[in-house]
């Protein structure tokens, strides 16, 4: 990874320590995530995966160390344009089945976030929302209530919402946990397509190691520290997995 240029670093964590009270959740974490990475983050329960994503999104402040997004330090004020480059895709279990919004409303929310709440959407905004839905192949369902969709379809709509806001980096936390294997594979295929053909950087936390290794170009294993950071095929990864999962 050292051959990549510094200007391609989209997320940089330097000597990051995160604590909850007196519990150390992340210890001396150093990670550079590059434009175009398809990164899978794995680790046992409680190893700090969600903490890492929250720290990247600025929801948690490190005790020590620095986080920079596109070269902007999080401790300084991150410019609005930089914030919009990051799309957090929540777990679908967070969606209420009776939530009355239609698919197109959910995706247009991505445009509202960018235009500013309370502003009305322009024709261009609506077109961008539709383009995002087309990209995830959900434009045929735009009038359907989001709660009536399958888990995999909802996940696609949430990815479209992030893309409608013109996110360049998608951060996903355990999106697979509410999906069956086929749906999970289909969403991974979509992420792979967005990564390869649209240059979207993907950072996904997951428990299914086989799937992460099949799709991701880079794997990070975390156990408070970064226990592994490299390619999915390196035999060293098996050694680390055996150590931290047993
Ligand atoms: N808000 C909090 N307050 C106190 N401790 C917390 C809090 N959130 C997480 N922790 C603790 O920090 C550690 C890391 O938690 P984190 O949620 O980052 O793990 P994770 O790797 O995402 O786990 P999982 O695989 O179960 O989602 C755990 O020991 C957890 O109990
Ligand atoms: Mg978690």
Ligand 1 pocket test: which of 23, 175, 227 has the largest number of ligand atoms within 8 Å of its C-beta?
A: 23
Q: Which of the four pLDDT bands, split at 50, 70 and 90, describes residue 5?
A: confident
Q: What is the average per-residue pLDDT within 211-221?
A: 96
Q: What is the average per-residue pLDDT within 174-197?
A: 88
Which superfamily does CATH assign the domain made up of 35-58+77-245 to?
P-loop containing nucleotide triphosphate hydrolases (3.40.50.300)
Q: What ranges do the domains of the chain cover?
A: 35-58+77-245
Please give the residue that has the higher pLDDT: either 213 or 116. 213
Mean pLDDT (the chain) is: 90
Q: What is the average per-residue pLDDT within 67-78?
A: 87
**pLDDT at residue 4 tops 80:** no
Establish whether residue 177 lines the binding site of ligand 1, counting it when its CB lies within 6 angstroms of any ligand atom: no
Closest C-alpha residue for ligand 1 atom 27: 45
Residues of the chain by 3-state class (helix, strand, coil), percent to 5: 40, 25, 30
What percentage of residues in the chain have a pLDDT greater than 70?
96
What percentage of residues in the chain have a pLDDT greater than 90?
68
Total Cβ atoms within 10 A of residue 137: 14
pTM of the shown model: 0.93
**pLDDT at residue 178 tops 90:** no
**pLDDT at residue 31 tops 80:** yes
pLDDT tens-digit series, residues 93-109: 656 677 789 999 999 99
Q: What pLDDT is recorded for position 94?
A: 59
CA separation for the pair 37, 203 (Å, rounded): 8
Is beta strand 86-89 parallel, antiparallel or unpaired with respect to 169-173?
A: parallel
Ligand 1 atom closest to Cα of 51? Answer: 18
Q: What is the average per-residue pLDDT within 41-65?
A: 94
**pLDDT at residue 204 tops 60:** yes
Phi, psi of 205 (to 5 degrees): -90, 135
CA separation for the pair 55, 17 (Å, rounded): 10
Tell me, in angstroms, the distance from the centre of ligand 1 to residue 11's CA. 21
202: tokens are 């993907």
Q: What pLDDT is recorded for position 135?
A: 92
How many angstroms separate the most distant Cα atoms in the chain? 55
Q: What pLDDT is recorded for position 104?
A: 94
């Amino acid at each position: 990874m050292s051959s990549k240029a510094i200007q391609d670093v989209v997320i940089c964590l330097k000597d990051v320590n995160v604590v909850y009270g007196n519990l150390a959740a992340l210890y001396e974490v150093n990670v550079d995530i590059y434009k175009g990475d398809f990164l899978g983050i794995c680790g046992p329960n409680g190893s700090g995966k969600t903490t890492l994503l929250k720290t990247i999104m600025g929801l948690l402040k490190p005790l020590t160390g620095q986080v920079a997004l596109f070269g902007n330090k999080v401790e300084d004020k991150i410019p609005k344009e930089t914030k919009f480059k990051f799309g957090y895709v929540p777990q679908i279990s967070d969606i209420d089945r009776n939530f009355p919004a239609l698919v197109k409303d959910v995706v247009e929310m991505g445009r509202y976030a960018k235009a500013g709440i309370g502003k009305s959407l322009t024709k261009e905004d609506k077109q961008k929302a539709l383009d995002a839905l087309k990209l995830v192949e959900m434009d045929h369902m735009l009038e359907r209530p989001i709660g009536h969709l399958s888990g995999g379809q909802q996940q696609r709509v949430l990815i479209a919402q992030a893309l409608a806001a013109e996110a360049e980096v998608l951060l996903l936390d355990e999106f697979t946990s509410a999906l069956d294997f086929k749906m999970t594979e289909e969403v991974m295929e979509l992420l792979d397509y967005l990564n390869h053909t649209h240059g979207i950087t993907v950072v996904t936390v997951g428990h299914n190691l086989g799937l992460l290794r099949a799709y991701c170009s880079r794997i990070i294993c975390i156990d408070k520290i970064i226990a592994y950071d490299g390619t999915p095929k390196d035999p060293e990864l098996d050694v680390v997995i055996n150590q931290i999962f047993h």
